[in-house]
A and B are shown apart, each in its own frame.
Chain A
Amino acid sequence: MTGPLIKVDKLTRDFDVSKPWLNRVIEREAKQYLRAVDDVSFEIKKGETLALVGESGSGKSTIAKMLVGLLKPTSGTVLFDDQPMRMDTSDDMQQLRKRFQMIFQSPFASLNPRWKVSDIIAEPMVVLGVEKDRNKIGKRVDELLDLVGLSEKDGNKFPHEFSGGQRQRIAIARSLSSNPEFIVCDEPTSALDVSVQAQILNLMRDLQDELGLTYLFISHDLSVVRHMANRIGVLYLGALVEVAESKTLFQKPKHPYTRMLLDAVPDLEMTNRMRKEITGEIPNPINPPSGCTFHPRCPFAEERCKIEKPKLLIAGSGAAACHLVEDGLLST
């Protein structure tokens, strides 16, 4: 394969958040739409880990769902190995579905409480027809349990008998059962304690090395992302504001929002550094600010920023969507 494994082009997703029809008629209100994802484009190469970082309203979860066919884009395309992602269950799509998987944020809601663990792990194999022989399925489930650090006996138990970290291991085992190449990880450790998070992150890295996996890693935690990703995309209100190699992003952030996020990371080195004051909160996505959506909170904002929306343009080895960066006015 020559091109990237995943190619996302001008992905956009709107949600209809209008009030019910009767209310609208009585109150004479127009329909309201929320633009959760705004013209996002990126690529992921085979074997790399791309991280998408953002706070609430950034659209990262929506992008994740569109990438695996759980949500239909309003416009734009998602290509997996040059094949378009669709939501039907035709034979082609089922073949494609064997090649990607997803790990979800909540270890409690992502496993069916009434199913045995072995059935949960085997489900992708069974439904996608990867393996039909009962015995072979059983053996593979045992292998997977072992791979994620659990024991064979755990297959006969139910999810509620396990802790959060162990459940996430089960979720990882499930995601590997159809032998996928690409896994979308939607905040997989956000609900876990710090020491458990360390175990899971180490496990995920080991599996990536061992099985040659490609990851899209979604998180709000910059420190975690630093640890896991090769490249990072920063999202704000549904749009990519900066994309850069991991090291570059942390040493030389370009976009003002990225700088603000980095500033907000707690100072565990106890350097007593002075933090620049962070202003404002994330605006309501139904009614975003004009021009550059970050301008109300940006310490460098100019007139142009209020009117014209910046495009994501190459900046150094990455890209940034900021007029001042484009004009070379912001030094790093």
Chain B
Amino acid sequence: MTQPLLSVKDLVIEFPTRDGPLTAVDGVSFDLAAGEILGVVGESGAGKSLTGSAIMGLLDPPGRIASGEIWLGSQRIDNLAEEDMRAIRGKRIGMVFQDPLTSLNPLYTIAQQLIETIRTHIKINESDARKRAIGLLDDVGIPAASRRIDDYPYQFSGGMRQRVVIALALAAEPELVIADEPTTALDVSVQAQIIDVLKEQCTERGASIILITHDMGVIAETANRVAVMYSGRIAEIGPVRDIIKNASHPYTKGLMGSIPTLAQADDRLTQIPGSMPRLTDIPAGCAFNPRCEQVFDKCRTERPFLVPNATCEVACWLYDEAAVKEGKK
């Protein structure tokens, strides 16, 4: 079996507070193969953005990686010094954030920003870099790229700016692109276009994508596999089709039922009672247990870890034969 492109092992992210450390991400593990698109989906506070930031080495202090390992190919990257991490960012990992307005420097033209990124990581002269940059803009669908490359960010519309951000992320030919809510700030009709561009360009270049979002719809259209996060843990991970059409974890089932679709209209939406626990109040055992309809004793005391279930892996005692045999309510 080929080595995965990215391997996250038991990642734990903590925030120190005056009452002790708060665990925001608690033992997350997953692998990403080359050329694969992995969706990381979850609601606010689930820890998906933090996981992405940790991989990029951009965790905001006082948050810190308390334990675990992150491997990019055969290189461990979670414990690198800042200068070394900077070499990796851009060259091996490209980033696409939610707000194109803050991802692009308003004081420099697109040409300047693209060329700087290209030349930082690839040794070519200025005019070749410029040709490359124009090619990139063309690929992401900016019309009249050779003229528009000299424009400033404010001269582009929201969707166009996000395309530029994608071009910037791909400029140094990274192996992995991490996109954190890339379409949330865009209009619906533009979201679809941007997702298509992202998917197309990465696939062409053989780059893998980690797509972090709260929008299941975006995942359905784009990802190969998806990890569902809840309270800093992975509840379920597996092929997109299987998770969406046939979720195993009660949370995922509830989540899918809450999403209104164009098909059904008159039934009530499935509603999961309560809300995701605050970081200070994460329950013992399975974090979802207070809200789960199928809860039994073990759920309240012991935390379930990922076990295989058909093509997926689920962190739920319902799928652990021994646990099910052992305990009822």
Contacts and interface: CB of A to CB of B under 8 A. Distances in A.
B191 A269 contact: no
A88 to B, nearest CB: 36
A191 B206 CA distance: 35
Interface in B262-301: 262-263, 265, 268-272, 275-276
Contact of B220 (A198, A267, A278): A267
A264 interface: yes
B218 A266 contact: yes
Given A55-B187, A270-B244, A223 B260 contact: yes
Interface in A199-229: 199, 201-202, 205, 220-224, 226-227
Given A266-B218, A281-B158, A202 B268 contact: yes
Contacts of B216: 194, 266, 268
A265 B217 contact: yes
Contacts, number: 113
A299 to B, nearest CB: 13
A197 interface: yes
Contacts of B255: 194-195
B214 A194 contact: yes
Contact of A201 (B43, B191, B257, B269): B269
User: Chain A binding site: helix, strand, loop or mixed by DSSP?
Assistant: helix
Interface string A145-177: 000000000000000000111100000000000
Contacts of B218: 266
Contacts of B259: 194, 198, 223, 268
A201 B264 CA distance: 14
A197 B245 CA distance: 21
Range of interface residues on B (Cβ < 8 Å): 35 or more
A270 B241 contact: yes
A56 B187 contact: yes
B271 A55 contact: no
B193 interface: yes
A275 B196 CA distance: 11
B257 to A, nearest CB: 8
A196 B192 contact: no
Interface of A: 55-56, 163-166, 193-199, 201-202, 205, 220-224, 226-227, 246-247, 250, 260-270, 275, 278, 281-282
Pick the 9 closest A-B CB pairs, nearest first.
A266-B217, A198-B258, A193-B43, A198-B269, A55-B187, A227-B260, A223-B260, A264-B192, A195-B258
